[in-house]
Amino acid sequence: MKKPIEIAGVTKHIGVPRKRTEDPQILMGQAKYVDDIKLPGTLEVAFFRSTHAHARIKNLKLDAAKAHPDCHHIFTNNEFSAGATTFFPGTRGTLHPVLMPFLAKDKVRFVGEIIAAVVAPSRYIAEDIVDLIEVDYETLPAYNDVEDAMQPDAALIHEDLESNIYYADSFSNGDVDKAFAEADLVVSEKIATGRTSAAPMETRGVMATWGWDDTLTVWSSTQMPYPLRTSIAVNLGIPEQTIRVVAPTVGGGFGQKAHFFPDEFILPWIAKEIKKPVKWVEDRREHLLSAAHAKQCTIYMSIAFNKDGTMVGMKIKNIGDSGAYSQYPWSGLIESVAANNGAPGAFTVPNISFETVICLTNKMSTGAYRGVGWSAGCYAREMVMTKAARLLNLDIVDIYRKNFIRHDEFPYTTSTNQTYDSGDYHKVLEKCLELSDYASTKKQSRATEDGKLKGVGIAFFVEQTNWGSRSAEESGFPATLHDTTTVEMDPTGKVTVRSGQFSHGQGLKTTLAQVAAETLGVPFEDVVVLDGDTATGAYGMGTFASRSAVIGGGSVIRAATDVRNKLLTIAAHVMEANAADLEIDEGKIYVKGSPDRSMTVAEIAYITFYDRFARPDEDEVEPTLSATRHYDPPAAYANGSHAVHIELDPLTGKLDIKRIVAVEDCGNMINPKVVDGQMRGGASQGLGMGLLESLEYDESGQLKNASFMDFLIPNATTLPDIECAHIVTPSPYTEGGFKGAGEAAMLSVHIALSNALADALSEYDGPLVPMVTPIGPQQVMDLINNVNQPQAR
């Protein structure tokens, strides 16, 4: 880090120091598919970013940079003063809008915030020019600890707000005070979950070009091409029908790329201004500094129990660390609001109250990341349950069995008014216990011959899936979310699915093709899925929140069913049969019971388009084989369980994971191998949160570990094979009986890990249960020595 120069309270500094993009450490995981797009005359962009977490910009000095012979343009807020405000009308609590400028002007609020955009022939040259920019700062107090930022005398991060708290709500159901007063045991804890990053394999990237015909094309590694197009139109004042957004093949998104970042507006605006193609590809340091962070919550959790383990009441205060802004478009509410609304989990908790507080700090903003909200909220609940089990001389499994919603109680409305559609929680749990050898392992000695300690942990989750309008509202977000799909059959009988989803690793081009092929009765090979391009798809909200199989698949079923019905009507006329007597299978249409009376789908399709003499009259059936359908389904909730076996060295705190078992019920599975892939990938990320990952800021707001040298993520040597199994209880309310599967593994595997640690330490005095993530060697030793544990203020 280059050392600032202090002059009478004003700090002079150039931008965030970086390594050249030729450095392999920085190049690792750059957005290759955006970087590979080559257009003649393309210029590249580098950003001058703040080195201060909270400061006023007193003097921005650009003369030396502008004098560089290869400097094409430098843009600041003086030229481009737009910004975005995230606001959800109709939320339960009081929400104050927070403006996020695309380019900072008078003030910066986190290290890495963009102040200026430099345009040059190459990224290397652009970064040389960035190094010539200087700025004088007036340093302001920086807040790393959310509870410090909440204090009445804290300096305001946004002066237009009355407080750094910009959202608060409360909720109560049942007689909570009576439940706590009459309980045999009350366990109250403060739980702190670490700040992390989705850290996808590829970082983000944006490219934009303004056409001769006044059209704008934007390539972005986004999960939401259509909403991004609409947002560009609204924020830049460009007619939407002239904008094309393309999401090329993206190496992972995980919710982080389901946001709209300043660069996705800056580059289109620059392209429009200079009438040349422009490109920016994020390096890993930029990514960790300024792509959405996640998971950091401070949770005060109290649960009241009867002596047999029955949960009778729950009280929660969840404080969300929003970072410097309310991340567009999901807002900083996305963690804590979702967590509190899902607080009961799989359990019949009759009395509950919660408080949600969202507060600004001087860090990069918090956004969505796989298992959003529930990763932290479930961890807090389950760690309190684990401690209660120890105090009641029970196993956590006993508390699960005692409090689970029973199979015959579905549909079940929880005490926070979420309606679970289906499930068999006892069956899923028993499957995981059996496969993991949980009972027999618990009977064994914790100590090994080499002085280590063995432990096994179990955890259970309920996952809210398929974020349509109703599912989002049950999570506390009254949004309008749905999808549209067009299914077309051409004259040769081949099928095109135009989807509003976007596949970036989920296998959607396979699964949606499977759904279309099965519904239409044609071979899988005859179906092509188009997604990720607003010029060729159908308007949809994108891929995030375990919604693609349910909503995307459901809209495919509806559209393909319409095409199938029209195909059968035309075939019935041509074959002189009743449509109800016809069947379609593997591209052949035949009369039930008389397979020799048949025609191919391709023959009927050709007749539809080209033989008006053989097909029905146009007044009876339009001679087109296409349909567009919308789908906004009821909420559907998946569930599952994880077990983790560990070995712990009590002298060093080093923890080795020996075995992982995952069981999931996501309803009917379109492709079990794809589901297994989701389970394994999610478990890896969940164990990263639980064991390794924490973005650490110092007291001045500097991020201390903005590279993979210091920000640790799991790799192939960290984890054993993840054993997967399934229980199937179809949703009675969704098309196909589907539930989502994308979030699930990040909702409980880190809990199973912490429960395994608590089990390994079960022979120590007192219930040693971790109340933090991650649980690295230092946290393990602190737990053993009972130091540095979260304390209520």
Give residue 31's pLDDT: 66
Which residues are within 8 A (CB) of 666 and not within 5 positions of it... i.e. 6 or more apart?
A: 465, 638, 640, 675, 726, 738, 739, 740, 741, 744
HEC assignment per residue over 741-761 = CCCHHHCCHHHHHHHHHHHHC
Strands (E), 542-701: 582-585, 588-591, 594-600, 626-631, 636-648, 655-665
Amino acid making up residue 520:
L
Give residue 4's pLDDT: 34
CA distance 627 to 641: 39
Q: Look at residue 436 and tell me whether its pLDDT is greater than 70.
A: yes
Give residue 318's pLDDT: 98
Residue 345 has a CB neighbour count (10 Å cut-off) of 24
Q: What is the average per-residue pLDDT within 475-502?
A: 96
- b/e for 322-342, b at 16 or more Cβ within 10 A? bbbbbbbbbbbbbbbbbbbbb
* Low-confidence winner among 167-171, 251-255, 374-378 (lowest mean pLDDT): 251-255
- 150-154 contacts: CB < 8 A, separation 24 or more? 150/319, 150/357, 150/359
Task: Name the nearest CA neighbour of 650 among 450, 399, 436, 433.
Answer: 450
Q: What is the average per-residue pLDDT within 576-603?
A: 95
Instruction: Report phi then psi at 313, rounded to 5.
Output: -165, 160
DSSP 8-state secondary structure symbol assigned to residue 69? T
Give residue 786's pLDDT: 86
Which residues are within 8 A (CB) of 351 and not within 5 positions of it... i.e. 6 or more apart?
A: 173, 174, 175, 176, 178, 179, 304, 312, 313, 314, 415
Would you call 264 helix, strand, or coil by DSSP? helix
Strands 419-420 and 412-413: what pairing? antiparallel
Give residue 790's pLDDT: 79
What's the CATH code, domain 34-140+204-281? 3.90.1170.50
Q: What is the average per-residue pLDDT within 730-755?
A: 94
Domain boundaries, the chain: 23-31+482-631, 34-140+204-281, 293-474+634-785
Residue 737 has a CB neighbour count (10 Å cut-off) of 18
CATH 3.10.20.30 assigned to domain 293-474+634-785? The reply is no
CA distance 502 to 520: 22
CA distance 51 to 54: 9
Q: How confident is the model at residue 691 (pLDDT cuts 50, 70, 90)?
A: very high
Q: What is the average per-residue pLDDT within 280-297?
A: 97
Q: How confident is the model at residue 30 (pLDDT cuts 50, 70, 90)?
A: low
Residue 283 has a CB neighbour count (10 Å cut-off) of 25
**What pLDDT digit, counting tens, does each position of 506-521 carry?**
899 999 999 999 999 9
339 token code pair: 């967590």
Q: Look at residue 195 and tell me whether its pLDDT is greater than 60.
A: yes
**What pLDDT digit, counting tens, does each position of 247-256 carry?**
988 889 999 9
Half-sphere exposure of 80 (CA within 13 A, CB side): 28
178 token code pair: 């009576």
CA distance 119 to 458: 53
Q: Could you give the percent of the chain with pLDDT greater than 70?
A: 95
Q: Look at residue 69 and tell me whether its pLDDT is greater than 50.
A: yes
Q: How confident is the model at residue 20 (pLDDT cuts 50, 70, 90)?
A: very low
CA distance 497 to 491: 15
Of residues 679 and 36, more confidence is placed in 679
635 token code pair: 């909420």
Query: Rounded to 5, what percent of the chain is helix, strand, coil?
Result: 30, 25, 45
**What pLDDT digit, counting tens, does each position of 566-581 carry?**
999 999 999 999 999 9
Give residue 320's pLDDT: 98
499 and 537 in contact (C-beta within 8 Å)? yes
Q: How confident is the model at residue 792 (pLDDT cuts 50, 70, 90)?
A: low
What's the CATH code, domain 23-31+482-631? 3.30.365.10
Q: Look at residue 194 and tell me whether its pLDDT is greater than 50.
A: yes
Helices H, strands E: what count in the chain? 21, 36
Give residue 340's pLDDT: 98
This prediction's pTM: 0.95
Q: Look at residue 293 and tell me whether its pLDDT is greater than 60.
A: yes
Q: Look at residue 197 and tell me whether its pLDDT is greater than 70.
A: yes
Would you call 677 helix, strand, or coil by DSSP? helix
Q: Look at residue 227 and tell me whether its pLDDT is greater than 90.
A: yes
682 and 662 in contact (C-beta within 8 Å)? no
Give residue 789's pLDDT: 77
Task: Name the nearest CA neighbour of 373 among 234, 281, 475, 225.
Answer: 475
Strands 114-120 and 73-75: what pairing? antiparallel
Q: Look at residue 5 and tell me whether its pLDDT is greater than 50.
A: no
DSSP 8-state secondary structure symbol assigned to residue 318? E
Amino acid making up residue 247:
A
The β-bridge partners of 459 are: 642
Radius of gyration of the chain (CA): 28
**What pLDDT digit, counting tens, does each position of 618-667 carry?**
989 999 999 999 999 999 999 999 999 999 999 999 999 999 999 999 99
Sign of CA dihedral 279, 123, 260, 234: negative
Q: What is the average per-residue pLDDT within 96-102?
A: 95
Q: What is the mean pLDDT of the chain?
A: 94
* Low-confidence winner among 66-80, 517-531, 775-789 (lowest mean pLDDT): 775-789
**What pLDDT digit, counting tens, does each position of 100-138 carry?**
999 999 999 999 999 999 999 999 999 999 999 999 999
291 and 261 in contact (C-beta within 8 Å)? yes
Give residue 744's pLDDT: 77
Give residue 27's pLDDT: 44
Q: What is the average per-residue pLDDT within 129-149?
A: 98
CA distance 560 to 553: 10
291 token code pair: 């792509």
Q: What is the average per-residue pLDDT within 422-435?
A: 98
Strands 352-359 and 311-321: what pairing? parallel
CA distance 128 to 65: 9
Residue 720 has a CB neighbour count (10 Å cut-off) of 12
Q: Look at residue 397 and tell me whether its pLDDT is greater than 80.
A: yes
Q: Is 354 exposed, middle or buried (0-12, 13-18, 19+ CB in 10 A)?
A: buried
637 and 464 in contact (C-beta within 8 Å)? yes
Same fold, 23-31+482-631 and 293-474+634-785: yes
